A and B are shown apart, each in its own frame.
Chain A
Amino acid sequence: MSQESVLVDVKNVVKTYGPLRAVDDLTFQIKAGEIVGLLGPNGAGKSTTMKMLTCYLEPTQGSIKVAGIDVNENAVGVRQHIGYLPEHAPLYTDMRVNEYLDFAGRIRGLSSAKRKDRIDWAVKACGLEAKYKATIGTLSRGYRQRTGLAQAVLHDPDLLILDEPTSGLDPIQLIEIRKLILEIGKKKTVLFSTHIMQEVEAVCNRAIIINRGKLVADGAPSELKARAGTNQKVLARIRGAQADVEKQLKNLPDTSSVDVHPIPNGSWLECTIKLSESAAVNPMNTGEQVSKLCKDNSWDVQEIKIEALTLEDTFLKMTGHEKLK
């Protein structure tokens, strides 16, 4: 990892509130251009970590450097490189969107002409054209998140830090915000926190999982899933002699357990094939083998389903275990 491209450097950071260790010996780096998802259950220390990056809180121990600047030495300098959207997108509800963005632009030191350009760009990028003159207090949750996002990208920061940018949004708004993050992520470095695993899979090229203040895993979502090697399953609905089906399925390679039982009100058998725990196992192969078996034995097939491994399974597994490295 070349030193120049390291944007965020967190080393052995601890944050304590009295006896509580909100963040416990956290170490990770973020390179320029990455879209990183900070995953963890509520209370894991995601927000605390982000607040330390934005110099809102001071680490109790350890060091944090953003763009090479130490947070303890030059907080203002660090913040110039960051665009931050706190949890729940807090905004001045008595201001209009354009007034608010103008204020944000001024504080960021943007000249009058530059401000106008950047605001126009941010409004377009975040889809706020319709609500440009609206009072923030009248906006829906989705538009408020977008306004908060617009403020965060306004000054073209190197690093975007978004704390649960999708919380409280409806499914349509969710998709839109995720699209936005992906779009912005094409050119900027983004760190956002969430406890929705699917989001990380959809948007990020890297996931950092923390639990109870400690780092649990750090890597690409696919890599983490492979490492976790959670039990994968192949499900099938077959019509055939129960004993025969069971015997043949059990003979398939890489299976750890097979369960076959008849579905009431019919002649179908519900088959659940659990694959053995190994990163090398590919459920697609097993699915193919089941399909072939059905053909060879002339069993009727209603459904063959491969239960894909989700990051959620990975996460649940990992937080029940020690650090996986």
Chain B
Amino acid sequence: MGATFSVFRREFAAYFNTPIGYVFMAFFLLVTKALFVSTIFTNGSADMRGYFGLMPIFFLFFIPAISMRLWSEERKLGTLEWLLTLPLNAWQAVLGKYLAGLAFIAVFLMLTLDVPIFMYIYGNPDIGPIIGGYLGTMVLGMVYLAIGAFASSLTSDQIVAFVVAVAISFIFFLMGYGPVLEWMKDIFGATITAGVQQFGIEYHFESVCRGVVDTRDALYALSMSGAFLFMNYLVVDHRR
């Protein structure tokens, strides 16, 4: 769709128009790589499990940081009204902005490729888990970004958008987080806990990382992203 692509193009370029995009990206690249490097030397094994293991937590903050400006800025500048009176459907704007965020995440991941390259130079890692890890991270990004975009659509204040995105993402993160699930098992029993776990991000992320191609994980990614994108659309179109 022409309009979706135009919105995507503008939004993606906007990430690089101001220092914010570069700053966040540089910061997260640095922090994740530094932490990772410090662990491999202590572990002594050439695999990226440690690196990917950090992702759910890091993305919990990185994604809301890049999604917070998607709609908040439009509200603040007053351009949302202008955008929505162009000959396009609200969903095209929603999709365009979402795809721009995904593209930004993809760029980030591409810039982390020096890590596996580093691994190959000094060791002999398994390619399977590495591909699985990147796939899982992309899925993580998809879901967190949809949550973040939705949060951004609720307010003109980027900070509030960030906090709300982190809060909602955190809840879904906890639903798949080991220690929390253990605690839940004690109180609610195994069945309910297993049910909750299906909604947890961590659960599906680990599943994908293991390299098991499971339709449940694909379903999770698509339905979670889809649900939040739909809510994003409702909020934006609700202006009418």
Contact = CB atoms under 8 A, between A and B. Distances in A.
Q: How large is the interface on A (under 10, 10 to 19, 20 to 34, 35 or more residues)?
A: 20 to 34
Contacts of A93: 77
Contacts of A94: 14, 17-18
B88 A76 contact: yes
A121 B89 CA distance: 28
B6 A106 contact: yes
Contact of B78 (A58, A76, A86): A86
A54 interface: yes
A94 B69 CA distance: 12
B85 A79 contact: yes
B35 to A, nearest CB: 32
A152 to B, nearest CB: 10
Nearest to A88: B78
B10 A84 contact: no
Contacts of B82: 84, 86, 90
A109 interface: yes
Contact of A107 (B7, B77, B79): B7
Contacts of B86: 79, 104, 107-108
Interface string A97-111: 001000110111100
A77 B82 CA distance: 16
Given A92-B14, A94-B17, A107-B3, A56 B84 contact: yes
Interface in A35-61: 51, 54-58
B212 to A, nearest CB: 42
A92 B79 contact: yes
B133 to A, nearest CB: 34
Nearest to B20: A94
Interface residues of B, number: 23
Contact of A90 (B13, B14, B81, B89): B81
A54 B87 contact: no
B81 A103 contact: no
A57 B81 CA distance: 10
Interface in B6-23: 6-7, 9-10, 13-14, 17-18
A56 B239 contact: yes
A90 B87 contact: no
B89 A109 contact: no
A109 B14 contact: no
Nearest to A90: B78
B84 A103 contact: no
Contacts of A80: 87
Contacts of B79: 90-92
A57 B87 contact: no
A303 B10 CA distance: 63
Contacts of B13: 99
Contacts of B78: 86, 88, 90
A218 to B, nearest CB: 25
Contacts of A82: 85
A91 B2 contact: no
A107 B82 CA distance: 12
Nearest to B17: A94
Interface string A63-91: 00000000000001101101010101011
A95 interface: yes
Interface string B79-103: 1011011111100000000000000
A94 B21 CA distance: 13
Contacts of B9: 103, 106
Contacts of B3: 107
B190 to A, nearest CB: 49
B88 A107 contact: yes
Contacts of A57: 239-240
A78 to B, nearest CB: 8
A93 B6 CA distance: 18
B81 A56 contact: yes
Nearest to B7: A107
A95 B14 contact: yes
A275 B35 CA distance: 88
Contacts of A104: 86
Interface of A: 51, 54-58, 76-77, 79-80, 82, 84, 86, 88, 90-95, 99, 103-104, 106-109
22 contacts: A55-B85, A56-B84, A57-B239, A58-B240, A76-B87, A76-B89, A77-B87, A79-B85, A79-B87, A84-B85, A90-B77, A90-B78, A91-B79, A92-B14, A92-B77, A94-B14, A95-B17, A103-B10, A106-B9, A107-B3, A107-B7, A109-B87
Given A94-B17, A107-B2, 19 more contacts: A51-B85, A54-B85, A56-B85, A56-B240, A79-B85, A79-B86, A82-B85, A84-B82, A84-B85, A86-B85, A90-B77, A90-B79, A92-B14, A92-B79, A94-B14, A106-B2, A107-B3, A107-B87, A109-B87
Nearest first, the 7 A-B pairs at minimum CB distance are: A90-B78, A106-B6, A54-B85, A79-B87, A94-B17, A80-B87, A90-B79
